Structure 1
Amino acid sequence: MELSTLDYSFIIVFFSIVLGIGIYVSKKSGKDSTEFFLSGRTMPWWLLGLSMVATTFSTDTPNLVTDIVRTNGVSGNWVWWCFLLTGMLTVFVYAKLWRKSNVNTDLEFYEMRYGGKPASFLRKFRAIYLGALFNIITMASVTLAAIKIGGIMLGLEPWETVVGAGLITVVFSALGGFKGVVYTDFLLFFVAMSGAIGAAYYLVNIPEVGGLQALMAHENVADKLNILPDLDNTQVLITLFIIPIAVQWWSSWYPGAEPGGGGYIAQRMLAAKDENHAIGATFFFNIMHYALRPWPWILVALASLVVYPDIASIAAAFPDVAENKLGHDLAYSAMLTKLPSGLLGVVLASLVAAYMSTISTQLNWGSSYIVFDFYKRQINPKATEKQMVAVGRISTVLLMVLSALLALTLQNAFEVFDLLIKFGAGTGLVFILRWFWWRINAWSEITAMFASGILVILLATTDLGDFLFAPETGIFPEWANYPFVVVVTTAIWMAVTYMTQPESNETLRAFYRKIQPGGPGWAKVVRNAEKDNVEIVKTDEKWSVPSGITAMLLGVALVYSTMFATGYWIYGRTTSALILSAVALISGALLIKTWGRMKENIL
């Protein structure tokens, strides 16, 4: 397809502004490691919240949603909608704890919560495991989406997209650090949302689709509209709804939705001015991420079923696309080729914005692990601030190169999503309980991490998977694969927890003194400290977790009802939309009241 002068103008202006911001903040960002990775811990909630939203709006996200909708309908999105529960738990329970910790990275937490060689090993291993391995896989998935967009919309070869998009992003990330990422995320958010909404409005109304009413009535779309899975289809109901809601949200580690907080979400909470700003940022992020942002992508995905009903029709329309890159996720890019001049430039700029926001965040976050938790901890404990910033910039470039090479071998965004979910199965409960149960130790986390990974590999590469879960001959139904990994992993790490020694009194008391987690899970530690005349309780405020869970449930009700109400307004189902809008208002009012009481306790 041909880009007009207007389209090129939008893209060039966008690139110029982003690079200008990176260059402008580079001097201050390079001052020391805290500035480079946390912007001096001075960020307001609204800027951090917008940054979180922009970061999780990547080039692979609309592709993933399109793949899900075309394959399993709108209700298929429960595989990631379920993580709202994790997000709200982070907002009202864990955000203030992370900000209290005052660590540079969430991995530094390990040597605060645990002690000895196991804690040191866990911190260093996770720095490489998450900062390099998982981070590279995640970025490769994002770059894969960029490759598909470049191939469909601009006729670019995969290597051309990788070099063009990656070079600008890595230069910007290495120069601007965390402050550059957050400042540009403010711009990227509005560009990305404008492009997504504009594309959805135009594409739903092209002649081939015929408008919203015609779309909803089309035979390829009508059976894809349900927000809840078909209650009569047990397999689909269990796989797409019951398992995500009952098990997946708390049991699996996934980037951006870690149980107990973590990753780049924790990085932004640690950069906040104070605990209230950390909570406000994560709450704003969850509302935008789940309640409003998915619908433009969903509408384009539904429209694509009319224009490109199957993969064969996509292949016929775009014969130059490599066979190993064909998939349902390609339909989003295919639909964008129908945009007019001007709007096409805005949408392309928005996709570039989405790509740069996510990749720059992943690069800065991953390199923070490598610098603080591996280089300074393992290689050069006496590293100067200048050396740490230099290593951060070098690791940024290396992470970008490795993820780009991996992207050239991948085929499908959903495959990567599924892999990451399964690899983290069974580990989530450890991340939740480690704050509130003194008996969790470093061996608990080490065991959970390795048990989960080994189980997934065994099920995927040996006859064990077929023996247990083959569709017709397996011992268990196919949908039990994920719960099986969770149950076995949990049983293993719980057994190891009781078989190994607890953390020392000194370690446990120091952690309690700093964080003040409270609750019955720490009662034994508090009693023992009192017997030894050691003061570790610094406040008389009552345990905030019960009210935090109440706020979490109200927040979940608010966001889900807003999300569903938005969908039903779009569908034209007025009665359902009005009822859910009322539920959203009531939930919001109750949440404001509950949050007011919690805020008084924090202050």
Structure 2
Amino acid sequence: MNFIDYFILIVYMLGIFGVGFFLSTKNNSAEDMFAAGGESPWWTSGLSSFMTMFSAGTFVVWGGIAYEHGIVAVVINLCYGIAALAVGYYVAGKWKTLGVNTPAQFIELRFGAAAVQFYTWAMMVFRIVGVAVSLYALSVVLVAMMPLPEGNFLRDEATGNLSLTWAIIIFGSIVVIYTMAGGLWAVLMTDVLQFIVLNLAVLFIIPLIFSDAGGVSAFIERAPDGFFALTNDKYGWFFMVGWVLIHFFMIGAEWAFAQRFICVPNEKDARKSTYLFGGLYLVSPLFWLLPPLVYRVINPNADPQEAYILACKTVLPAGMLGLMVAAMFSATASMVSSQLNVFAGVLTEEFYQRLFKPKATEIELLRAGRIFTVILGAVVVLVSLAIPYLGGAEKVIVSITSLMVGPLLAPTIWGLFTKKINIKALWLTVSVSFVLGVIFKMGLAKEGFLVGEATQGLADWANGNGKIVDLIIGVVVPVAVLIFMDKSAKSVAEGWNNVENLIAKSKEEGEVKKASDLPAKIVATCLLVLALMMFGLVIYNEQDKGLLAGFGLVLVLIGGGIFSFLKIQKQKA
């Protein structure tokens, strides 16, 4: 990266800061901070859900799979789209009809206070450690691309690049500050802006990487055997079906996604937002995985995990590499900010308000939400900084808690539709799945504590069929337990009546909310700023002037078109 790349990156960082603090004016209550006041446009919610799936791993892990295995990486990511469309049809609208501000409110109504506490702390440990690992991975990737001159206090003298410690602190602080200031509005809008930057950077790379490979036909001819197969021995159709089922539970019940269904004005918008999310995942994976796919024929001996980064460095002109770094930061920032907002909301309502100040005013709840956002953000940064010294402990934590994700999420979706299951079904589902998970994923692992002469055959099967084991523990067992508990229950659960009463109350109040047009104005302004940046890079670069100018012109037309559409809509109103 050179001066212009750093300039682009800094402008981007300042831009999302500005958006976060601008949107802080819309936060006047806890509902505003954690549910966007129910005024988020459906497309904003959909794009935010799309970005919530991204992280540094999207580029490192999936880029590596694409480089190594080919088109199968695209097919795996298409499974997210199928799962999201199913969630849009069956689940998303149901969340909106509940009349809750956070998913935790539903859990309490349906299963009780004990379930909320269990969900909160179990999921928080899993997600906080998970996003900390993602922040660390992002920082490792980006510092390799960011050399600094001697004497700069941010420089690591051993590498000559940005210090990993400072990278974690800087990147983490940026996310925490804009999430704290703007709440869910800031999360939603920065996700949308990050979507624009990500896709702009990726689409810009595609013609350049194909040109460097000698064209599309040359790429096809030089690709390894089996590179365009839809499945392979490692990722077969059974794995794909399991991937869809697991992510149906994840997208339908994980709190970060459920919050996106709650924050829109009505049930129809909740479904539309999820259809947008799913539709994008049926189209976009091919585009953003093309760089590592094509790079395979340019450099067949690269480290797969570095393929995406190397492809960018190979073809991007000055300035655009800075935008690509911004896009990679955006991917992880979206994940981190989503989790911070969700759990800050839960702690505000289920911890601060319930235990300490039941009669807290909206201003007090808003202040508490911001404080919890900062505290959680600080924990994420500290865990990220500690990862090199944990000796792999963070992987153990993620492995153990991930055993509970499917069993935790399945009862949530089940509880949305069936009347009979109660908290006993939740405890049994979690207990059975967790015990089986410990047995198969730890006890029967290589050199596990249960491996012996009598269990060697079972251990060999489990280790050779890890994906089948994951599907059984994460989907088959929870569903089987829930079916059993549902069929054996003799009466309607009290929690179902609580939910029904809240739905009736929400319908009686009949408050009709309208989607705000502010997000569209922010997007249009962002597109025009990016267009100016493109035109500026035309002057700075000797090559690719036509491509830069063309992208700039397209952005001007789209941004101008949005402003024109809003003006026409206002006149009609």
Q: TM-score normalized by structure 1?
A: 0.71
Aligned to 2:239: 243
8 Å contact kept, 2:60–2:305: yes
Aligned to 2:175: 169
Distance 1:469 1:87, change over 3 A: farther
CA distance in 1, matches of 2:53, 2:337: 11
Residue identity matched to 2:228: L
Aligned to 2:209: 203
Aligned to 1:368: 345
Alignment equivalent of 2:436, drawn from 443, 448, 455: 455
Matched, 1:336 2:312: yes
Kindly provide the CA deviation profile for residues 503-529 of structure 1, in whole angstroms up to 9, marking residues without a partner as x: 54x54344345558xxxxxxxxxxxxx
Aligned to 2:10: 12
8 Å contact kept, 1:152–1:333: no
Distance 1:266 1:401, change over 3 A: same
Alignment equivalent of 2:336, drawn from 352, 359, 370: 359
Matched, 1:269 2:261: yes
Aligned to 1:559: none
CA distance in 2, matches of 1:124, 1:426: 16
8 Å contact kept, 1:97–1:515: no
Tell me by how many angstroms 1:193 deviates: 0.8
CA distance in 2, matches of 1:508, 1:425: 22
The within-5 A match list for 1:82-121 is 82-114=79-111, 119-121=112-114
Aligned to 2:158: none
Distance 1:144 1:307, change over 3 A: farther
Aligned to 1:292: 283
SS at match of 1:224: coil
Alignment equivalent of 2:142, drawn from 128, 150, 156: 150
The within-5 A match list for 1:584-603 is none
Distance 1:463 1:39, change over 3 A: closer
CA distance in 1, matches of 2:89, 2:403: 27
Distance 1:76 1:348, change over 3 A: closer
CA distance in 2, matches of 1:185, 1:76: 24
Distance 1:371 1:502, change over 3 A: farther
Aligned to 1:63: 60
Residue identity matched to 1:98: W
Aligned to 2:421: 440
Aligned to 1:32: 29
Tell me by how many angstroms 1:135 deviates: 2.0
CA distance in 2, matches of 1:348, 1:507: 47
CA distance in 2, matches of 1:498, 1:371: 37
Residue identity matched to 1:249: V
CA distance in 2, matches of 1:475, 1:27: 54
Aligned to 1:394: 371
Aligned to 2:562: none
Aligned to 1:212: 216
Aligned to 1:553: none
Matched, 1:3 2:7: no
Matched, 1:52 2:40: no
8 Å contact kept, 1:152–1:337: no
8 Å contact kept, 1:252–1:425: no
Alignment equivalent of 1:349, drawn from 314, 318, 326: 326
Gaps of 5+ in 2: 147-160, 509-573
Aligned to 2:538: none
Residue identity matched to 2:5: D
Matched, 1:123 2:116: yes
Kindly provide the CA deviation profile for residues 167-223 of structure 1, in whole angstroms up to 9, marking residues without a partner as x: 1221111111111222333322211110121123323332xx33322222225x442
Residue identity matched to 1:457: V
Aligned length: 479
Aligned-residue identity in percent = 23
Residue identity matched to 1:177: G
Aligned to 1:225: 228
Tell me by how many angstroms 1:357 deviates: 2.8
Matched, 1:478 2:465: yes
Distance 1:345 1:476, change over 3 A: closer
Tell me by how many angstroms 1:43 deviates: 1.6
Residue identity matched to 2:108: E
8 Å contact kept, 1:84–1:286: yes
CA distance in 2, matches of 1:262, 1:146: 23
CA distance in 1, matches of 2:243, 2:26: 41
Kindly provide the CA deviation profile for residues 73-116 of structure 1, in whole angstroms up to 9, marking residues without a partner as x: 322455553343431222122222111111111121123223xx
SS at match of 2:358: coil
Distance 1:381 1:240, change over 3 A: farther
Distance 1:67 1:366, change over 3 A: farther
Distance 1:330 1:423, change over 3 A: farther
Tell me by how many angstroms 1:360 deviates: 1.9
SS at match of 1:229: coil
CA distance in 1, matches of 2:357, 2:89: 37
Distance 1:138 1:509, change over 3 A: same
Aligned to 2:530: none
8 Å contact kept, 1:48–1:272: yes
8 Å contact kept, 1:100–1:275: yes
Q: TM-score normalized by structure 2?
A: 0.74
Aligned to 2:569: none
Tell me by how many angstroms 1:125 deviates: 1.7
8 Å contact kept, 1:439–1:503: yes
Aligned to 2:20: 22
8 Å contact kept, 2:80–2:247: no
Aligned to 1:562: none
Distance 1:75 1:304, change over 3 A: same
8 Å contact kept, 2:95–2:258: yes
- Give the CA RMSD over aligned residues: 3.4
